[in-house]
Amino acid sequence: MDLPDLSAVAQQELLKSGEISATELLAACAERAALVEPVVNALPMERWEQATQQANAVAVDGPLGGLVTAFKDLADTKDLPTTYGSLVFADHQPVADHPAVALVRQAGVQVVGKTNTPEFGAGSHTFNPVYGLTRNPWDPTRSAGGSSGGAAAAVACGVLSIADGSDLGGSLRNPPSFCGVVGLRPTSGRVPGGDPKYVMATQGSIGRTVADVALHDAVLSGQDDRPLTEMPLRVAYSPDLGGLPVAPEVHRIIKKAAETIEQLGWSVDQQEPDFSKVDRCFETLRAAFYAQKFFALAEDERVKATVRAEVNLGLGLPAECIEQALATEQNLREDWDVFFSKYDLLIAPTSQVPAFPVGQEWVREINGTSLDHYTNWMRSSSRVTVSGCPSISLPAGFTSEGLPVGVQIVAPRGTDRQLLSWAGLIEEAFGVPIRRLSKRLQPRTHLGCRRVPWGKEKAVTGGCNLKSFGHRLPGLLTNLCQDNPAKRAKRKVILWLMP
């Protein structure tokens, strides 16, 4: 198996034993990036040459020593521009690292750039007017999710050993589900650098295996144990998290996951917490959070409409409405504490749908149920966010079209390391191996591709004409396999049509 296809834990073992050097791992990841990035565009800001110059000085004995990573473009980096995916900040250079970035750097990683994100992290589909569109490694006509879509896609492809992400309504869970990797949303407030008032937003970890995520999480949290409590576990199973519409193939895969978990000898009951007050609480606090951070951009035409609408909604909220939502959030957390006095874990769909066509900005219908807001299709994740509980998305299976689907596993607040231990056992029971995506992508990038005229791409975009989608993103989508304008300037291909 090629170095980029190994888990981060396996790469680290080779580094520490001296079987490979940090320079060799970096070169292998750079070669993989050259293969897949023209298609996926997960790492739009690259610094391979600078990392190579520094590789000989990397100390491989650190907690993440020698592993290859990049930071999400929402996290401030003192030596790399941070655009937040917005033209407003296209030339922004922070003067200090985000606290989570600083922790990962200190652990000895090799930093090779920034991973792509939607503008200001809004929406679980990664596209923006600075770096363009990130595509799903399993099917480049599909979304990689968001807002950590670049991180999940880069890890899935083997471009990165491991990656950070952030999560408000599902951004550490939806992209891993879409891309077939593992993502952990920690207990709210556990990782440094969060907002003291609006605690739903958090940094977290993405890796190819649970052990990889545990390695990264130990650096972010300062906790490296993975305790196991008495077995067997008591597991609650919710097929739809309070009656949400769920795509049939997702339902099938999550039901099968519940049956597999039951075969571990654990008790599995179809039960769930009360979700009746969750959506309004989440939507109020999300809008208030966006208004606090981006109030100056409420009327800025350079910012996409969904962000401006979110900010203006937050600006219009009365103070008493926000305080009531904060009180409801605390009450809901206490309700979940009671629920978890009866169960050790809750399992449910990570996302209500598999990865959707890239031409859709967001999912507007599931099983005949119309959705009228860009976050409504993500409620299977956002309903868990409000609880403050740690949750992990674990690959559980594939649709008939070969798209990955993740199961969401939730544990009581503060039991993050136990959750990782339990998730490791479930991962072993599922038996979903690391996939060699390079073999899947290679024919699409180098073999049998043909150029076609701009505007003739409906066959590979689920029926969507990218020109019509691109009017909201001027000049971004002129190359199906390479949507990053900065990289596109280096290539002569206008559009590739994949067989």
> What pLDDT, in 10s, does the model give residues 77-107?
999 999 999 999 999 999 999 999 999 999 9
**Cβ pair 254, 235 in contact under 8 A:** no
pLDDT for position 489: 41
- What pLDDT score was predicted for residue 485? 53
Helix then strand then coil, in percent of the chain rounded to 5, is 40, 15, 45
197 is catalytic: no
Q: Provide the token pair at 141.
A: 């006509």
The whole-angstrom separation of Cα 352 and Cα 363 is: 10
Catalytic one of 171, 205, 351, 380: 171
Q: At what angle do helices 437-446 and 149-157 cross, to 10 degrees?
A: 100
Q: Do 22 and 66 form a contact (C-beta atoms < 8 A)?
A: yes
Whether 341 is a known active-site residue: answer no
Our CA dihedral for 126, 240, 327, 99, rounded to 10 degrees, sits at -30
51 touches 26 (CB < 8 A): yes
Q: Is position 171 annotated as part of the catalytic site?
A: yes
For residues 310 and 424, give the distance between their C-alpha atoms in angstroms, rounded to a whole number.
Answer: 37
Angle (CA) 87 91 93, round 5°: 130
Taking the C-alpha atoms of residue 461 and residue 266, their distance in angstroms, rounded to an integer, is 42
* Structure letter (DSSP) for residue 230: S
Structure tokens given for 168: 């408000």
| Distance between CA atoms of residues 406 and 420, nearest Å | 15
Per-position b or e across 175-184, b if 16+ CB within 10 A of its CB: bbbbbbbbbb
The predicted structure's pLDDT at residue 332: 98
pLDDT for residue 385: 98
pLDDT score, position 224 = 85
Q: How many other CB atoms are found less than 10 A from the CB of residue 116?
A: 35
Coil/strand/helix, residue 485: helix
CA gyration radius, the chain: 21
**Tell me, what DSSP letter sits at residue 78?**
T
- CA-nearest of 97, 112, 149 to 128 is 149
Which contiguous run of DSSP H or E holds residue 183?
Answer: strand 182-185
Structure confidence at residue 449 (pLDDT): 31
The whole-number pLDDT of residue 232 equals 85
Reference 348, options 233, 244, 427; nearest CA is 244
Euclidean distance between CA atoms 46 and 50, whole angstroms:
9
The residues, ordered by sequence, that sit 6+ positions from 434 with a Cβ below 8 Å of its Cβ are 5, 6, 7, 208, 209
The per-residue pLDDT string of the chain (499 residues; one tens digit each, 9 = 90 and over) reads: 799 999 999 999 999 999 999 999 999 999 999 999 999 999 999 999 999 999 999 999 999 999 999 999 999 999 999 999 999 999 999 999 999 999 999 999 999 999 999 999 999 999 999 999 999 999 999 999 999 999 999 999 999 999 999 999 999 999 999 999 999 999 999 999 999 999 999 999 999 999 999 999 999 999 988 777 667 899 999 999 999 999 999 999 999 999 999 999 999 999 999 999 999 999 999 999 999 999 999 999 999 999 999 999 999 999 999 999 999 999 999 999 999 999 999 999 999 999 999 999 999 999 999 999 999 999 999 999 999 999 999 999 999 999 999 999 999 999 999 999 999 999 999 986 555 554 555 434 332 233 233 333 333 333 333 332 232 222 223 333 345 655 544 332 222 322 2
Residues paired with residue 72 on neighbouring β-strands, in sequence order = 115
Q: Given the residues 7, 124, 147, 148, select the one marked as catalytic.
A: 147
Which alpha helices (DSSP H) does 367-410 contain, by range?
Answer: 379-385
Alpha helices in 181-267 (DSSP H): 210-221, 248-262
Token readout for 167 is: 């999560």
